[in-house]
Copies of this chain bind each other. A is one copy, B any other.
Amino acid sequence: MKMNSPIGLFDSGVGGLTVFREIVRLLPSEDVVYFGDVGRYPYGGRSKEIITQFTRQDIAFLLEHDVKFIICACNSASSVALEEVIGDYEIELIGVIEPGARAAVNKTKNSRIGIIGTHATIGSNAYAKVIHSLDSDMKVFSLACPLFVPLAEEAYIEKEATYLIAKDYLQTMHDVGIDTLVLGCTHYPLLKKVISEVMGDTVTLIDSGEETAKEVRQKLVKTNLINSKTSEIPPINGDYNFFVSDVPDKFSSIATRFLGHHMEKITRVDISRYPAKLEL
């Protein structure tokens, strides 16, 4: 494992680009290998068993690229699979739950935190567990908002229907008086505007992806794994390679919308040929 190896990042699809964008902003000289499982997205409605199999395949793919650190940018995989697999690999693996949970505990003033995410993330209770391990006095309210993913994917955002769905989902969060809401799915930051409109000014939104990028920087600094290009003058930008499990067209166009510029290196991968079980 070398300091100049790339950071590996995987997600069920395009949502992880919100985490990638933060990594690029905070660590502009780091190389990144991104794997987006667009051939099998979304993960959030699937079982723990199959998400764990997919996660092992995604990790096996990144390990082949000699990465120095792996970020699981998908909240569903972080919630239901990471704990299960983390002990089986030597490399450092970080999910998005702990950084998001920690930020929420630090932000809340009334100790009432809301969590929204997919069926898999909410069903796992992963955020509540971490929050309670940090501070057992916290009150946590969790809610699955499964329609937010297709609405964000379809860019169906500035619409009355989306506002009504958000209001319908989030009314109970309002009623229980949370002051902090964790966006526990990488797609949800795309709906930030409508979510904050529904929740009002008094509620702070936490973007787990953003918090995860901050934590990655801290960890790389602490373990002396910051890329040596970082200290060059003038600064040298990182190299970015994207891999996807379906043809790259759709990923490419969504990535362009997400990142504001065209992506060049996007390669198709047959993810089914990577081991879904741990090979002993």
A interface list, Cβ under 8 A from B: 38-40, 45-47, 49-50, 146-147, 149-151, 153-154, 156, 159-162, 164-165, 168, 245-247, 249-250, 272, 276
**A47/B276 in contact, CB under 8 A:** no
Copies in the complex: 2
Cα distance, A153 to B160, chains bound together (Å): 21
- 7 A-B pairs with CB atoms under 8 Å apart are A47-B249, A49-B246, A147-B154, A149-B150, A160-B161, A160-B164, A272-B276
Residues of B contacting A168 in the complex (Cβ-Cβ under 8 angstroms) = 159, 161
Nearest Cβ on chain B to A76's Cβ, whole angstroms: 13
Cα distance, A5 to B259, chains bound together (Å): 54
Known interface pairs A38-B46, A149-B150, A161-B164; 10 further A-B residue pairs with C-beta atoms within 8 A, sorted by A's residue number: A39-B50, A40-B40, A45-B153, A46-B246, A50-B245, A147-B150, A147-B154, A150-B150, A160-B161, A161-B161
**B150/A47 in contact, CB under 8 A:** no
**A250/B45 in contact, CB under 8 A:** yes
